[in-house]
Amino acid sequence: MNARLDKTTSPQSLTRRQGDKAHSPAWLHGLYAVMCLYLFLSAINIMGAGLGTFGRASDWMERVFAHGENPFIALLGAVLVTVMVQSSSFTTALIITLVASNQLGLHAAVYAIMGANIGTAVTGVIVALGSIHIRRQFRRAFTAALLHDFFNLLTVAVLFPLEWISSMFDEQGRGLLMRWAMWLADLMGMEAEVNPRNPIKIITKPMVDSFMWAGDLVTRNDVVHGITVAIAGLLLMFIALVFMVKNLRGALVRRLEGLFRSVLFRNDLTSYVVGAVSTVLVQASTITTAIIVPLAGAGIVPLKRVFAFMLGANLGTTVTGVIAATAHPVAAAVTVALFHVTFNLVGTAIWYPLQRVPVSAARWYGRLASKSKRYAFLFLFLVFLIIPLVGVVLTEIFIM
C-alpha cells in the first residue's frame, strides 16, 4: 500500500498534475484570443476614426498632397499619411478619390501609391514592440515585421527610379508601369458598383462609437477630439497586443501550432494564398500583417513562411483600391487601382526569387534590435517619420 501511495504521489506525478491545473481550458484560451483580437481590430478603427476627424477638421491630408506633382513629395507625403491613419487602404482610397475629382494628377498618384505601400508596414513594427520585454520572442516578431518593411522598401527602391526615368522619355510623362495600368484600364471597361460594407467596421462600430462619444465629453474642438480619440485607440491597441502575446504563449500555442505548420503555412504557396485571401476578407493588410507578427514571435508560424504571407497580403490589399475605383468609374481612378496591383505583382516577381536579400537583411537587423532595443525604435522613427519629414522639407526647399 505504501509503495502504491509513493508511486502515485511521486514528484513527477505531482508536477504533472500541478501543470494540468495551471493550464486553462482550450475554450477559455480561444475566447481570450477572440476578445484580444476584437479589441485590437477595434483599436485600429478607433485610431482611424480619430485621425479621420482630425484630418477633416484640419484639412491636413489634402495639404500633404497639395504639391504632389513632384514624385518625391507624393511618395513621402503618402508615407506620412499612411503612418498617421495606419491604413494603406484608406490612403489608397483617398488617392483614388482625389484623382477622380481632379484634385491630384495621375502622374503623382502612382508615386503616392508607392508611399502608401511603405507606410502601411509601420503597423507590424509597432505590433512587434508589444513583445519587446521577451528577447527571443521579440527577435522573431521584429524580424517578421521587417520582412514586410524590407520588401516594400526594396520594391520602391527599384520601381520608383524605373517609373521616374521611363516617364522622362514619354511625351505625356507616363512611366512603364503607368502605361501598362492604363492599357489594362482600357481593356477592362469597369462599371460603377457600390462599395460593400466592411464586416470588420460593422462589428467594431460599437467600440468606435463609444470612444467617439467619450471624446465628445472631453472636448468639442474637432482637432483636439480627433487627436484624443486616436491616442486612446493607440493605447488600446498596445493593451490588446500585450494580452494577445501573453495568451499566445499559453496552451493555445501548443494546440494551434500543428494546424498552422501543417496546413495553413505548410509551403510558400499556401502561405501566399492565406495572406492574400485573409487580407481580401478583412480589406486591410494592416490587420493581417499585424496578426501574423505576434504569431511568428510566438513561434507558431515559421519565419521562412512569413515572407510569402506578406507578399500575399500586399496583393490582397489592392482589392480595396479596385473596389474604390469602381465607385469612381473614371479611367484615371481605375488606372491608379490597377497600378497598385501591378506594383505588388512586379515586386513579388522580383523579390520572391531573390528573397535571400530581404530575408537576410531582416534577420540581421532583427538580431541587432533584440540585442539593443534602441535600434528597433531608431528604425521605427527614422524610416516612418524622420526621413519622410526631412525629405518633404528638403524637396520643397531645393526642388520645388
Q: Are 85 and 51 in contact (CB under 8 A)?
A: yes
Give the predicted TM-score (pTM) of the model. 0.70
Residue 8: pLDDT band (50, 70, 90) is very low
Residue 18 contacts residue 244 (beta carbons within 8 Å): no
Residue 5 is assigned to a structural domain of this protein: no
- Is 274 a domain residue? yes
Eight-class DSSP state of 384: I
- The pLDDT value recorded for residue 255 is 52
Number of folded domains that form the chain? 1
Most confident stretch, 22-26, 126-130, 158-162, 281-285 = 158-162
Report the pLDDT averaged over residues 272-281. 82
40: its cell numbers: 485590437
pLDDT at site 197: 58
Query: Considering the domain boundaries, does residue 240 fall inside one?
Result: yes
Confidence band, pLDDT 50/70/90 cuts, at residue 147: very high
Q: Which of 201, 235, 244, 12 shows the shortest CA–CA distance to 90? A: 201
Backbone dihedral angles phi then psi of residue 387, each to the nearest 5 degrees: -60, -45
Over pLDDT 90: what percentage of the chain? 13
Residue 12 maps to a domain: no
pLDDT, residue 33, reads 72
What is the structure's pLDDT at 364? Answer: 93
The pLDDT-based confidence of 329 (bands split at 50, 70, 90) is low
More confident residue, 390 or 15: 390
Give 24's pLDDT tier (boundaries 50, 70, 90). Answer: low
| Per-residue pLDDT at 84 | 76
Kindly tell me the burial class for residue 243, based on how many C-beta atoms sit within 10 Å of its own C-beta (0-12, 13-18, 19 or more): middle
Which pLDDT score is estimated for 189? 59
Q: According to the model, what pLDDT value does residue 321 have?
A: 76
Is residue 18 one of the residues assigned to a domain?
A: no
Give the residue with greater pLDDT, 388 vs 350.
Answer: 350
Q: Would you place residue 13 in the very low, low, confident or very high pLDDT band (cuts 50, 70, 90)?
A: very low
* 48 and 87 Cβ atoms separated by less than 8 Å: yes
Asked if 310 and 346 touch (Cβ cutoff 8 Å), the reply is no
- The per-residue pLDDT for 103 is 66
pLDDT, position 56: 67
pLDDT at 59: 62
The answer to whether residue 14 is domain-embedded is no
Q: What pLDDT does residue 44 have? A: 66
Q: Would you place residue 253 in the very low, low, confident or very high pLDDT band (cuts 50, 70, 90)?
A: very low
Question: Residue 300: its pLDDT value, please?
Answer: 79
Percent of the chain's residues with pLDDT above 70: 73
- What digits encode the pLDDT tens for the residues 26-80? 667 677 777 877 887 787 678 767 766 776 666 655 555 555 567 888 888 888 8
Q: In the predicted model, is pLDDT for residue 82 greater than 60?
A: yes
Q: What is the mean pLDDT of residues 238-255?
A: 60
245 in Cβ contact with 130 (< 8 Å): yes
Confidence check: pLDDT of 157 > 80: yes
**Domain boundaries, position 30:** 26-398
Q: Average the pLDDT over 174-184 and give the result.
A: 85
Say if residue 358's pLDDT is above 80. yes
Kind and range of the H or E element at 380?
Answer: helix 374-381
Higher pLDDT, 65 or 338: 338
Burial (CB < 10 A; 0-12, 13-18, 19+), residue 13, is: exposed
| Beta carbons within 8 Å of 153's beta carbon, 6+ residues apart | 118, 121, 383
Q: What is the per-residue pLDDT across 365-381, written as a single tens digit (0 to 9) for each?
A: 989 988 888 898 898 88
**Where residue 354 falls among pLDDT bands split at 50, 70, 90?**
very high
Cβ-contact 147, 366 below 8 angstroms: no
Top-confidence range, 130-139, 311-320, 321-330 = 311-320
pLDDT value of residue 29 = 65
Name the more confident of 241 and 49: 49
User: In this structure, is residue 314 part of a structural domain?
Assistant: yes
Q: How high is the pLDDT of residue 64?
A: 55
Mean per-residue pLDDT of the chain:
77
pLDDT in the model for residue 195:
42
Residue 151 makes CB contacts below 8 A (sequence gap 6+) with 307, 310, 311, 314, 347, 351, 358
Q: Is residue 394 part of a domain?
A: yes
